Amino acid sequence: MSKKGGNPQNLVPFAKGEDPRRQGNGRKPKLPQVDVIMAEVLGEEKNDITAAKAILMALLSKATKGDVRAAEVLLDRAYGKATTKIEANVATTKQVFVIGGQEIEL
C-alpha cells in the first residue's frame, strides 16, 4: 500500500536475495533452555549445601514460623495441589415440540 497521498505506481517490490531495504537480521536468537539453566543454578553448592536444598530449608523455616504461603508452596510441591470437586445436578424442564417444521419451546 502506498503512503497516504502517494502514488501507487512508485512502489517497487523487494528483489530476491540481497536488497538494501531489508535489515537482514532474521529471527531473534532463541533464549537458552530455561530448565538447563535452572538445573545449573539449583545444583550449585555453597558450604556443601545445594541451592535447591537451601531454598527448601528457608521455606520450611518460614512455614514453621507461621508463613501460610510458604507452607502452601511446600505442601503443593510435596503432595501436589489439592483438587476441588464440583458437583452439578442440573435438571432441565425445557421441552421442545416440532410442529409443522417449527420448533416450539415450553
Instruction: Quote the pLDDT of residue 5.
Output: 65
Instruction: Quote the pLDDT of residue 59.
Output: 92
Is 101 inside a domain boundary?
no
Proportion of the chain in helix, strand, coil states, percent, rounded to 5: 35, 10, 50
Instruction: Quote the pLDDT of residue 24.
Output: 67
Instruction: Quote the pLDDT of residue 4.
Output: 67
Those residues of the chain that have pLDDT short of 70 are: 1-6, 24
Domain that holds residue 66: 32-82
Among 74, 79, 41, smallest CA distance to 56 is for: 74
Is 6 inside a domain boundary?
no
Q: How many domains does the chain have?
A: 1
Residues 6+ apart with CB under 8 A from 52: 42, 43
Instruction: Quote the pLDDT of residue 62.
Output: 95
Q: What is the pTM of this model?
A: 0.44
Instruction: Quote the pLDDT of residue 61.
Output: 94
Is 89 inside a domain boundary?
no
Instruction: Quote the pLDDT of residue 41.
Output: 83
Is 41 inside a domain boundary?
yes
Amino acid at 68: V
